[in-house]
Amino acid sequence: MLDVASDLVSSIRAASREMVRELGFLGKTIAGTDMSASAVHMLIEIGNTPGVTAKALSERLRLEKSSVSRMLKSLEKRGEISVRTLDTDKRASGLHLTDQGTRTYEAINAFGDAQVRGALSRLAGSSGLTVAKSLADYAAALSRTDERPRREPVSWQITEGYQTGMIGDIAAMHGRTHGAIVGTGPAFETVVAAGLSEFASRMDRPFNNSWSVVEDGRVVASISIDGEDLEGNVAHLRWFILQDRLRGKGLGRELLSRALAHVDELGFDETWLWTLKGLDPARRLYERNGFVLTDEYLGDQWGQEVWEQKFVRTRPA
């Protein structure tokens, strides 16, 4: 690796941060739309490569499969994309823009083109071709994964019981993670926060507990067992949530394992949980740990009608 002067590195990093700010990536929405940067990138990729698969999108955008799945469901619900079985492989599906999605795609491109043309018109003494080649070379260098330094595995510390700020942190994670399904706005977060607030006052009782990962003073992953709110020696698994960036690292599996160990040690006959339909990675995790889907219905407790599912796990013999 070349010995690069530290002032040059600092200059490039500062310019990169300025570009991120000027292009609007720090906001909730981008490119003149009401969509997140990830969703806009996804729509562009589908428009540029009709028939692309969800797996290819995940690899291209470097996003977790669960995050891609949620965003695709949101885009399909908005009427921006459609999913079609591939002619070459009936087991796989390709992604396409709808007429509405095509209009959105064209509007995004027009917005981006105007940004670039405006910036180039203000350059003094620089060639647009030089800028284009330099940016392309730099992007290509960043994408060379074989030269990236390896990250040391992170060991997450899981703590039990109430954590300062956990009510707001957990409610916010639910809102950001499930907003595409239940809708944005205060209704969903309010219900989550109210239930968690009530539970927090009795979290220290023997049948109840919570397991959380705290990072820089914030709860970034959590799961709880409420052993009191259901009758008949049944435990209630509640508020199981992780930040998107922590998915796929085995942390969810470890949290669930600790919660179920607590349930089994206390001798509960069954453990019930309710969740939203469409969270397929979570469903697979539940089913690998003995949960079975027992009910599915249209509910409205979150502010709008959504399909909910009930899973039940019987204590191992």
pTM comes to: 0.53
Q: Are 281 and 66 in contact (CB under 8 A)?
A: yes
- CA–CA gap between residue 311 and residue 315 (Å, rounded): 13
Say which CATH superfamily domain 158-314 falls into: Gcn5-related N-acetyltransferase (GNAT) (3.40.630.30)
What architecture is domain 6-147?
Orthogonal Bundle (1.10)
With bands split at pLDDT 50, 70 and 90, how would you rate the model's confidence at 195?
very high
- Range name among 16-20, 95-99, 145-149, 279-283 with the lowest pLDDT average: 145-149
Tens-place pLDDT, residues 170-182: 999 888 887 767 6
- Range name among 97-101, 136-140, 167-171 with the lowest pLDDT average: 136-140
Tens-place pLDDT, residues 199-244: 999 998 889 999 999 888 899 999 999 999 998 899 999 999 998 8
Averaged pLDDT, 88-105: 80
- Whether the pLDDT of residue 4 is over 70: the answer is no
- In this prediction, residue 131 carries a pLDDT of 75
Angle made by CA atoms 214, 65, 41, in degrees to the nearest 5: 100
Averaged pLDDT, 23-30: 76
Q: Are 195 and 238 in contact (CB under 8 A)?
A: yes
Where do the CATH 3.40.630.30 domains begin and end in the chain? 158-314
Tens-place pLDDT, residues 55-85: 877 777 877 776 777 778 888 888 988 888 7
- Whether the pLDDT of residue 154 is over 70: the answer is no
Where do the CATH 1.10.10.10 domains begin and end in the chain? 6-147
